[in-house]
């Protein structure tokens, strides 16, 4: 178990006395509003004093970026390796934080032995059921919610080609979303107390993909498939994002009796040659954060908001964009809160 950060008192003083900072810290606002506010984390960074202090002081929920994915948990065929995931769970327990699990079924980030294994559908079915059961039982009582299936649909809402669907699949490749359903049934058997989520990208507003997600989830609910919610990832690159369709989509999903979690929120900005964003863009970014948070907290069925990382010092966007975009998160590279942080605190504090 990790010890509290040695510069904890300095960090609290800094955050609470910075002129631009709101009177409440983010975690305080979230606790008062009874909403979960989380972030994705990397276990190896928990030894960084500023990283761990900011994380524990500002968030009441965490999710590992990669530490519970197949290629980490089962990088070899014969054994499970829970060390990195356990680090995240131990940190969360030490700091009274909830843990979301991510993710059990995905067509990406699978180890070579699996992706190139030439398994039969029967073998893949056994492997997937074993994986879901073993991982969920290991974290039973510690991980309260799981992204069971991640990004199974393409941009048009069709089931994507994947090892689990049709390459060669688990034996249900001619039955559309049946393999997704099966994964949820196996997950419920493994840990009946965990909340089970379908997590998806680019289906946050109203479009062909979100319509397909809605139709699948409505069908699942009507047939009593054990699913509790949907995760809307929310990787944003538009500073003028219209959030009205997002609010409408959240409303129709929660009307099905599902919870909604915003699971991977970040708002990337163009960077200059020195790697900095313009101040005017940071202000526009803050308004995007504000409107997305508002769309969530105004609906009682939207119960969690999570960013994909929290400091610009460690973000996937820089490498993904080859350094042309970034500055997407609530804290800058020195852990100073940005206008987006203030906007998020203010909006959560206004939760009805």
**Domain ranges within the chain, ordered by starting residue:** 8-349
pLDDT-based confidence at residue 22 (cuts at 50, 70, 90):
low
What pLDDT is recorded for position 6? 40
Predicted local confidence at residue 323, as pLDDT: 87
Any catalytic annotation for residue 264? yes
Q: For residues 326 and 269, what is the distance between their CA atoms, to the nearest angstrom?
A: 5
> Which run of H or of E encompasses 258?
none
Q: For residues 147 and 140, what is the distance between their CA atoms, to the nearest angstrom?
A: 14
Of all helices (H) and strands (E), which one includes residue 332? none
Report which of residues 21 and 65 the model is more confident about. 65
Residue 13, pLDDT > 50, answer no
Contact by Cβ (8 Å): 165, 159: yes
pTM as predicted = 0.93
Distance CA 3, CA 15 (A): 21
> With 50 as the cut, is the pLDDT of residue 171 above it?
yes
Does residue 12 surpass a pLDDT of 70? no
Q: Spot the catalytic one: 58, 65, 151, 204.
A: 151
On the CB side of 238, CA atoms within 13 Å amount to 8
Q: Tens digits of per-residue pLDDT, 45-101? A: 999 999 999 999 999 999 999 999 999 999 999 899 999 999 999 999 999 999 999
Grade residue 23 by pLDDT with cuts at 50, 70 and 90. Answer: confident
d(CA 101, CA 40): 10
Locate 45 and state its tokens.
């960074």
Which pLDDT does position 57 carry in this prediction? Answer: 98
pLDDT digits (tens, 9 = 90+) for 248-302: 999 999 999 999 999 999 999 999 989 999 999 999 999 999 999 999 999 999 9
Q: Which pLDDT band, with edges at 50, 70 and 90, does 200 fall under? A: very high
7: pLDDT strictly greater than 70:
no
Cβ burial of 222 (10 Å; 0-12, 13-18, 19+) is exposed
197 in Cβ contact with 143 (< 8 Å): no
pLDDT(17) > 90 = no
**Superfamily of domain 8-349, CATH level 4:** Glycosidases (3.20.20.80)
Over range 23-41, report the average pLDDT. Answer: 97
Has residue 125 got a pLDDT over 90? yes
Give residues with Cβ within 8 angstroms of 150, minimum separation 6: 102, 103, 105, 106, 199, 200
Give the whole-angstrom CA distance, residue 223 versus residue 217: 10
> Which pLDDT score is estimated for 19?
41
- Closest by Cα among 318, 303, 93, 43 to 195: 303
Alpha-carbon 242 to chain mean position? 21
Listing DSSP states for 58-89 in one string gives: H-SEEEESSTTSHHHHTSSTT----HHHHHHH
Provide the mean pLDDT of the chain: 94
User: For 297-312, how does the pLDDT look when each residue is reduced to its tens digit (9 = 90+)?
Assistant: 999 999 999 999 999 9
Strand 259-267 with 302-307, pairing: parallel
Q: How many Å apart are CA 270 and CA 103, to the nearest integer?
A: 30
Q: Which string of b and e fits 87-107 if b means at least 16 CB within 10 Å?
A: bbbebbeebebbbbbbbbbbb
Report the distance separating Cα 350 and Cα 352, nearest Å: 6
Roughly how many angstroms between the first and final C-alpha of the chain, as a whole number?
37
Q: Hey, what's the torsion of the CAs at 338, 344, 350, 352, to 10 degrees? A: 180
* Per-residue 3-state assignment (H helix, E strand, C coil) for 161-201: CCCCCCCCCCCCCCCCCHHHHHHHHHHHHHCCCCEEEEEEC
Query: Residue 2 above 50 pLDDT?
Result: no
Q: Which residues, including other chains, have CB under 8 Å from residue 215's CB and lie 6 or more apart?
A: none
**pLDDT higher than threshold 50 for residue 1:** no
Q: 223-242: per-residue pLDDT in tens? A: 999 999 999 999 999 888 99
197 pLDDT higher than 90: yes
Residue 151 among the catalytic residues = yes
């Amino acid at each position: 178990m990790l010890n509290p950060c040695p510069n904890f008192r300095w960090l609290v003083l800094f955050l609470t006395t910075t002129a631009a900072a709101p009177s409440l810290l983010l975690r305080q606002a979230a606790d008062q509003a009874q909403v979960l506010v989380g972030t994705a984390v990397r276990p190896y960074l928990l030894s960084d004093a500023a990283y761990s202090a900011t994380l524990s002081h500002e968030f009441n929920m965490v999710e590992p970026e990669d530490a519970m994915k197949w290629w980490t948990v089962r990088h070899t065929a014969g054994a499970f390796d829970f060390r990195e995931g356990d680090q995240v769970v131990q940190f969360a327990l030490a700091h009274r934080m909830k843990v979301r699990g991510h993710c059990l079924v995905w067509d990406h980030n699978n180890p070579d032995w699996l992706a190139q294994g030439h398994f039969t559908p029967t073998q893949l079915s056994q492997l997937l059921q074993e994986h879901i059961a073993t991982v969920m039982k290991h974290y039973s009582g510690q991980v309260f919610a799981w992204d069971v299936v991640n990004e199974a649909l393409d941009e048009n809402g069709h089931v994507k080609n994947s090892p689990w669907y049709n390459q060669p699949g688990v034996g249900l490749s001619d039955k559309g979303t049946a393999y997704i359903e099966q994964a949820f049934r196996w997950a419920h058997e493994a840990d009946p107390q965990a909340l089970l989520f379908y997590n998806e990208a680019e289906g946050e507003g109203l479009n062909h993909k979100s319509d397909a997600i809605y139709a699948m989830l409505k069908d699942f609910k009507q047939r009593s498939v054990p699913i509790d919610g949907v995760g809307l990832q929310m990787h944003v690159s538009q500073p003028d994002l219209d959030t009205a369709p997002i609010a409408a989509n959240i409303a129709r999903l929660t009307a099905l009796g599902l919870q909604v979690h915003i699971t991977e929120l970040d708002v990337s900005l163009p960077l200059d040659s020195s790697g900095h964003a313009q101040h005017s863009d940071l202000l526009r970014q803050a308004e995007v954060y504000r409107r997305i948070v508002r769309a969530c907290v105004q609906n009682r069925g939207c119960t969690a908001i999570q960013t994909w990382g929290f400091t610009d010092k460690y973000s996937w966007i820089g490498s993904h964009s080859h350094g042309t975009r970034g500055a997407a998160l609530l804290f800058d590279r020195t852990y100073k809160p940005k206008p987006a942080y203030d906007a998020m605190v203010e909006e959560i504090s206004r939760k009805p």
